[in-house]
Amino acid sequence: MAQRPLKLVPQLMAILALAVITLAMWAAWLGWDQHRDVHPDGSETGPYEAWQVIGLVLTLLAPVYWAASRRYFAGAVLGVTAGLTAAAAYDWSDDSSGLYMVGVGMVMVGSLVVTGAVSAVIASVKTRTGSARQRS
Cis amide prior to 40 (ω within 30 degrees) = no
Q: Can you give the pTM of this predicted structure?
A: 0.85
Task: Dump pLDDT digits (tens) for 1-19.
Answer: 455 565 788 899 999 999 9
Amino acid at 94: D
- Secondary structure tally for the chain: helices H, strands E: 5, 2
Structural domain including 131 reads: 3-135
- Rounded to the nearest 5 degrees, what angle is found at the Cα of 99, between the Cα atoms of 98 and 103? 140
pLDDT band at 98 (very low <50, low <70, confident <90, very high): confident
Instruction: List 44's β-bridge partners, or say none.
Output: 38
* Number of domains making up the chain: 1
Q: What is the mean pLDDT of the chain?
A: 88
SS3 25: helix
H/E run at residue 21: helix 3-26
